Chain A
Amino acid sequence: MLIQANALTQAMNENDWLFPAAECVHIASFALAIGTIALADLSLLGVGLRRNVAAQITRSTSLWTLTGLVLIIFTGFMLFASDPDMYLRNSSFRFKITALVLAIVFNYTIHRKVALSEGSGMLTKLVAVISLALWISVVFGGLFIAFV
């Protein structure tokens, strides 16, 4: 894994367009992955699409969400590989990855259960708010990597 990472590190640093290209795919994939999850969250909060369609949104978009997450993680790894030491030492990066892991686990466990059960009430709304907060934290954490 270390040997592969070194070859990728070289590619990411020597090639002028590879890093920006990975970044652009990374950012565009936010809309796909986070956007679909956010739409379900808004529905659980009773806004956006109709109130009780969170289950349908989740089922209909689940492959798109997964594709988005795969793209994000794949390109994210490429970006990380360009300078692993720097990223590991960066507090915002560590925050971001923590938030990301929590967000992904939350999304495919509690969030999925609540969204598919078509529930309502305070607990459902709390789950939606937590989901949004986690994903927004990931985005903020990612951006601040360059500013800490």
Chain B
Amino acid sequence: MKNAMVLACALLVLPGALSAQDASKESAEAKREDRLKTLEEQVRALAAEVEALRGELKTARESAANAPATRPKLVLASAPYARESAEAAATPGPPQGSSTAQTQVFGGATSNAKLLNPDISVIGDFLGTAGNNSIRPVRSLEMHESELGLQAIIDPYARGDFFLSFGEQGVNVEEGYLTFTSLPGGFVAKVGKMRAAFGKVNTIHNHALEWTDRPMVTDNLLGGEDGIDDAGLSVTRILPAPKWIFMEATGQVFRGDSSTVFQSVTHKDVSYVGHLRAYKDLSESTNVDIGASYSRGHSAAGADLITLPSNFHTDLYGMDATFRWKPLRRAIYHSFLARSELVWSQRDQLSPLSLFQTQRAFGFFTSGEYRLTRRWTMGGRFDRTGRAQQANLTDTGFSALLTYWPSEFSQIRGQYRFARYAEGTDGSELRFQFLFVLGAHGAHPF
């Protein structure tokens, strides 16, 4: 009975206890839900905040991208694009400098190091020839020369210039020299391999000539296309002269090896070149440039001899004259250039009977070039010259030229060349040339 009463009481109490337990559970779940809701709201708020910040960042980036790279501070109060205080206007704004163009740098990570590289250029010289010339034949088609130029300022006192000539026969250092630009006394000195200051044409690179070839006198008396081009020293100075006349003297000493003109056997067999130049402006559009040259070195004829090879010399005398007309207002459309050089050669050599003799030869050319329009130029040249080793043999020739310039950096030229050689043979050729410039090729002296 007692057990039955306990069981009945338990049954009576259990629903109440169970209901009380259910109530506490509901209360806890409600709290959890509230907390979750609060957290969800906080997350939503944070997400909205992040979104807002992203938007602001995007706007800021877009406005920065659309804004001028570096708008300078206003200098003048009246300048239309901005207004600043009078105090700011009194001080000039900083120059723009942060934005610069990129050159074609393919090295990526090393691009900054390349900023100090020299100016690099390549000039292609493609030649084609049709016709006949049995005395001095040339190839029908050839990549005549590819000139690689490397030029830079070395330090505050000097600059360096290298011109490497790649031909179909090999590579040649056409010029490679150091120029001291900051010497006292107005001197300018060069050290290295260079084209000698003998006349005008000898100093000019192939691509800067007015013709597809060099004059006959260069071939016959000055060693051919390379001319007098040797390793040595050069000193130049402007000389005192009457007002408005420019006079300049150049003295050069070379090792003594230049094509077929000079050849050294010992260290003492150096060659010399001296050049005196006078220039005058006749008006702002016309000027005349006259030069006299002398060179002496050891003749190649003595190089193979065992006894007294140093007694064989070559002496060269030259005169050059250039007349230019270029109206300043129309300089890119019309101009005229006339040029002439005369060369006398005295070459010591052995006669066929092995007797010492001196061959005295003379040669010259005269040429003219007229710019018809911005893109077209026509010209002509007359040649007549003896031969250094056989002065009694004289070659004569003339050329007519037409040049087209698509731009400053390319040139197409045609040249008809007739030659009457001393052997009694004629050469008649039609030559065409394509010149093209890649990169930054430094300007050549006037």
Partners in one complex: no
Q: Which residues of B contact A (CB under 8 A)?
A: none
